Structure 1
Amino acid sequence: FILIPPSRSEAWKQHRTVLKQFLRDFTSENSMALALYTVLHKPIRDHVQHYILLLSELHGNLQEGSEKDVVATVLKEYGKLASFISQVLDEAWFTKNLWKFLGYKFTDMLCVPERRLLEDSKNLPISASTNRSERILLFDDVLVLIQGNSFQSFDLKLVWVDENCGENLRITTPEETFFLSAKDPQMKAVWQWKLSQAVRQALNGKRDFPLWGRTGEGSEPPSRRFFSYVFRLEGKFRNATYEGEWHWGKPHGKGTLKWRDGRNHVGDFQEGLEHGFGICLVPRRSEDRYDCYKCHWSQGKMRGYGICEYGNDMVYKGYFQENVRQGFGILENFSAEHPFKYTGQWENDRKNGYGVWEDKERGERYIGTWLDDHRHGQGIVVTQSGICYQRTFHADKMVGSGILLLEDDSVYEGNFTEDLTFVGKGKLSFANGFVLEGTFSNRAGQGLQTHGTLDTSHEQLDGRITKMQLGLQEFPVEKRWKGIYDQFLEFIHSGCKEDTEESFTGFHIQTSKELRKSQEYLFCQRGTEDVSWKREDILEELVQHQELESLQSYLEKALKSSLHPLGKLLRALAVAFQATYSGIGANRHLLTMAQEEVKSYARKIWEFYQ
């Protein structure tokens, strides 16, 4: 009422005669504010007080019964209305005085018409930890700490108050935690109550009716909330906008992180870090493309099974640890230039250990060991034309002598180049039994030359050579796919928990005819009706099926299921088997190696059951 007349002074002057009819107490000596108060406010308060007196008298004269109960209820509501009017006016008066004496530097930024002051540390003393503020103001939407000529404000929707800190109150916000210290327990209790009720009302989006009850009344604000916030301080989330679920000042539950540079992460959070399944998009610097990670996170880092679709047309499906590829995984390049597929072991984001590389452009497949992204150690190469050879590799270079099995059943033992040219000492055994042994060379324009001896005494090549089986000693079957078995064992040892099952055993792949033709379908969420196996009961189920017939039936169903961990294990092994022995790898010199591998699958699954 004080502010309205000056802002409308011309209107008052022009309609002074008309206004006199409504403002009976209006004179040139009286203030406009008093006149407005008399006409617009005083009658309402007088009416409410009059109704309260009448209802109180009526309530006292009625006999016990339903009518008296109704009057009591109405009387209570009018009492609330009277308190509400009084509290609203008090808040407005205290807020007006604050803006009057606070100083223009603060009022320019803090003064908002609808904002109300709820408590002031000058009125009810309390101080913040580490002398970070001279004055603390609690408004109906923000908590403000003033220090010198600067201030900090905290949105009440993202403020948590913990009273269980001795003499202090711990205030938790998304990026800061500090303490408020009162001189005595009573002051602490009042501040705690007002803070909690202000937070709760801010979350509800409306004030209580009346604004304040008695100290100790009113429910506590929820610890779990859903809001959007922009991180500003140093840290991994700086300049990122998080929208999602919160718990005690930290992202916790489902949420979305977005950075200004185009990065974003959608998924599960725990204690302020990515934890659980999530999808992360990372823009590539040199191209208008993104790397898309669909993976499991643990304490802010990728860990467990995931799929990464890189912006350069490569796709990785396998395991991660500490944000790098680690364990078993498949990397495939779908681009027209240099298409390839690697299936095998990874260590610290590099190909390390046993793995299979298929060069689709050259029509070759390498089966062997790797070190730091290079072929290193024993290896077998199979070509599309049926040629197969075994060599020792060092940083992608062939060293020493090897065995070369040609498509016409000839066998060469010795040194040769990558284009399969004989060089140096060697022995060439023909299919008809002839053996040429000596030194080989290949000069430009002169073709293959040799200095040695030709033995024609044998009528046919020894069957042990023509049926030679490669890789049996060089690649012990129990060491080939250790990365697949390790994840399954870790899942069993962890207790077969449902929330970690996909992290250990991989995503469920739909096998319907419609989706077989399309890309793999990633199940981020699915109903219980789609899951036929309760993961927590897997260990118990395995123990129950002791009889041979019952065991056979159970294992058959489990291995056929795309949801059961045993079924997922078998499918992972089948993928590794196909990557090695299908297509180009269907070579008779790898037959025993393949047969051993299949037998080892059965033995390993039986070991897991036992």
Structure 2
Amino acid sequence: MNKNYLLRLCFIANFIYLSSCSEDSSPLPKSDQSVSEGKVLLRKAQTGKQALEDGSTYTGELMRGEPHGYGKKDFPQGDEYEGQFQKGRAHGHGTYRFKQDELIDRYVGMWANDKWNGYGTLVLTDGSRVTGQWIKDRLEYGDYQGSDGSIRSGKWRGNWDFLEEGFSRDSFGAEYNGIFNSDGSYRSGFINNPNGDLYAGEFLANSYHGKGILEKVDGTLYVGDFEDDQYSGSGMLLSSDGSKYTGQFSEGLPNGFGIEEQVNGVRYFGTWADGLKEGAGTVDFGNGATYIGVFKNGFALDGKYDWGDGRVTDSYQDETGTWLDR
């Protein structure tokens, strides 16, 4: 017999022996194999349809008998959610459509434990949109774009319709930066009006109210108290011609005691009514002459005119403002 042939036979015999030694000679019982295979199947996502305890119907991926993965949930009232699930709850990215809500159309964005959580967009039935960061259904930071062209952006106090602090532009073009009230009205901040007027201060029902500064496009500057958009209380009014009034105001006009300083150096100290000098007052002409007396409808009615050179006369003004002696 050939020597090489014998060597080949020995090699084959050893290979068969070693192979038989490596095999498991005691396989799992059939029942144990079924349990193992079942556990593997449970760990794998399956697709199915099931009725849930809340009356809704789910169609999509399942794991351990509950929604997990991608699917769609139809609610009894007609609403529907389509997107990602985790352990039976909306979790991940998804879209919820409101069928019965008159205000909200849908929410598209991130979810966590059945709540809006993360970046998302709320679309209203009129086409308005609210986009931003949500935490447990509450808007924290984001932007509102109204169907009428209005914009609100900044920090929100939970409810998507309550901007706490930030920027807004209404449908007329007025731009506001500041703090808002719970009803959406301005509380305190800065507003740039469409006509070019600038205001910084306090508000009530979106009207200038409280302390504020108003710079008008014609160059007029007012610093002081406001009520219902009008000068009211104490303030300082600097007119475009350079004259200045400091004192009391009512309904937008000097009322009460006030001081007027004209650009030519003439100053008036006294009382006012409806924007005109009225009652007791003093005029300092800035050249050494003074007048002390009574005023009516803005003109000197009766008083003493000290000319500054030793002469003192009883004087008044006619309807043109010309000074006359009695």
Superposition TM-score tier, normalisation by shorter sequence: 0.5 to 0.7
How far apart are 1:141 and its partner, in Å?
4.5
2:217: which partner in 1?
360
1:252 aligned to which of 91, 97, 117: 117
1:297 aligns with 156
Counterpart mapping for 1:157-168 below 5 A: none
The equivalent of 2:184 in structure 1 is 324
Measure, in 1, the Cα distance between the counterparts of 2:192 and 2:117: 35
Q: Which residue of 2 aligns with 1:579?
A: none
Assess, with a 3 A threshold, how the Cα gap between structure 1 residues 415 and 193 changes in structure 2: closer, same or farther: same
- Change in Cα spacing, 1:346 to 1:441, as seen in structure 2 (3 Å) is closer
> How many angstroms apart in 2 are the aligned matches of 1:406 and 1:321?
41
2:295 aligned with 1:440 = yes
In structure 1, the residue corresponding to 2:64 is in which secondary structure? helix
* CA distance in structure 1 between the aligned counterparts of 2:162 and 2:214, rounded to whole angstroms: 25
Residue 92 of structure 2, aligned match among 211, 216, 225 = 225
Alignment of 1:202 with 2:70, yes or no, is yes
User: How far has the Cα of 1:334 moved from its partner?
Assistant: 3.0
Higher relative contact order (CA 8 A, sep 6+): 1
Change (3 A) 1:294 1:458: farther
1:268 aligns with 2:133: yes
Structure 2 residue aligned with 1:21: none
- Structure 1: distance between partners of 2:190 and 2:162: 17
Partner AA of 2:244 in structure 1: C
Distance in structure 1 (CA, Å) of the matches to 2:109 and 2:201: 38
Q: Is 1:410 the counterpart of 2:266 in the alignment?
A: yes
Residue 278 (structure 1) aligned with residue 142 (structure 2): yes
Residues 450 and 348 of structure 1, relative CA distance in 2, 3 Å threshold:
closer
CA contact (8 A) 1:252 1:270 kept: yes
Shift of 1:360: 1.3
Shift in Å, 1:451? 2.4
Cα distance in 1, alignment partners of residues 60 and 259 from structure 2: 73
**Higher normalized helix content (fraction of residues):** 1
Cα gap change, 1:317 to 1:251, in 2 (>3 Å) = same
Conservation of the 8 A alpha-carbon contact between 1:325 and 1:350 = no
Q: Distance in 2 between matches of 1:368 and 1:145?
A: 64
Distance 1:156 1:348, change over 3 A: farther
| Alpha carbons 1:251, 1:272 under 8 Å: kept | yes
Q: Give 3-state SS (helix, strand or coil) of 1:240's partner.
A: strand
| 4+ long deviations beyond 6 Å | none
Q: How many Å apart are 1:145 and its aligned residue?
A: 7.1
Distance 1:156 1:428 in 2: 89
- Alignment partner of 2:107 out of 226, 230, 242: 242
CA contact (8 A) 2:234 2:248 kept: yes
Compared CA separation, residues 439 and 194, structure 1 to 2 (3 A): same
AA in 1 matched with 2:124: W
The 5 Å alignment of 1:81-480 reads 140-141=48-49, 143=51, 153-155=56-58, 193-195=64-66, 199-203=67-71, 220=87, 224-233=91-100, 238-274=103-139, 276-284=140-148, 290-300=149-159, 302-325=162-185, 327-335=187-195, 339-347=196-204, 349-361=206-218, 363-416=219-272, 421-441=276-296, 448=299, 450-457=301-308
**CA apart distance, 1:416:** 4.3
Give the conservation status (yes or no) of the 8 Å contact 1:324–1:349: no
Alignment of 1:521-600 (within 5 A): none
Which letter maps to 1:202? Y
Q: In structure 2, what is the equivalent of residue 178 of structure 1?
A: none
Deviation (angstroms), 1:410: 1.0
TM-score, length basis structure 2: 0.67
Determine the C-alpha separation between the residues in 2 that align with 1:343 and 1:233: 43
Report matched runs for 1:37-52 at 5 Å.
none
- Report which stretch shifted further, 400-409 or 302-311: 302-311
Task: List gaps (5 residues or longer) in structure 1.
Answer: 1-60, 69-75, 85-117, 119-138, 147-151, 160-191, 205-218, 285-289, 460-610
CA distance in 2, matches of 1:277, 1:308: 14
Distance 2:254 2:266 in 1: 21
Q: Where do 5+ consecutive residues of structure 2 fail to align?
A: 1-18, 26-32, 73-85, 311-326
CA distance in 2: counterparts of 1:353 and 1:442, whole angstroms: 29
Structure 1 residues 7-38: Cα deviation after superposition (integer angstroms, max 9, x where no partner): xxxxxxxxxxxxxxxxxxxxxxxxxxxxxxxx
Q: How many residues align?
A: 264
1:105-139 deviations in whole A, cap 9, x for unaligned?
xxxxxxxxxxxxx9xxxxxxxxxxxxxxxxxxxx8
Q: Deviations over 1:358-380 (max 9, x none)?
A: 1213x211100224544331111
Task: Report the secondary structure of 1:200's partner residue.
Answer: strand
For 1:312, what is the secondary structure of its paired residue?
Answer: coil
How far does residue 296 in structure 1 lie from its aligned partner after superposition?
A: 0.6
Shift of 1:391: 2.6
The alignment yields a C-alpha RMSD, in angstroms, of: 3.8
1:399 is displaced (CA, Å) by 2.3
> Residues 256 and 298 (structure 1 numbering): CA distance in 2 closer, same or farther, change over 3 Å?
same
**Contact 2:231-2:250 at 8 Å conserved across structures:** yes
Q: Distance in 2 between matches of 1:438 and 1:321?
A: 49
Contact 1:141–1:202, Cα closer than 8 Å, also in 2? no
Residue 458 (structure 1) shift: 6.8
Q: CA, structure 1 residues 140+348, in 2 after alignment: closer, same or farther (shift >3 Å)? A: farther
Contact 1:318 1:325 in 2 (8 A): no
Equivalent residues of 1:295, 1:302 under 8 A apart = no
Cα deviation for residue 422 of structure 1 reads 3.4
- Can you list the C-alpha shifts for 1:41-79, whole angstroms capped at 9, x where unaligned? xxxxxxxxxxxxxxxxxxxx85438x99xxxxxxx9xx9
Scaled by the length of structure 1, what TM-score is found?
0.38
How far 1:265 sits from its partner (Å)? 0.3
Pairwise CA distance, 1:307: 0.6
Q: What CA distance in whole angstroms lies between the structure 2 residues aligned with 1:413 and 1:378?
A: 15
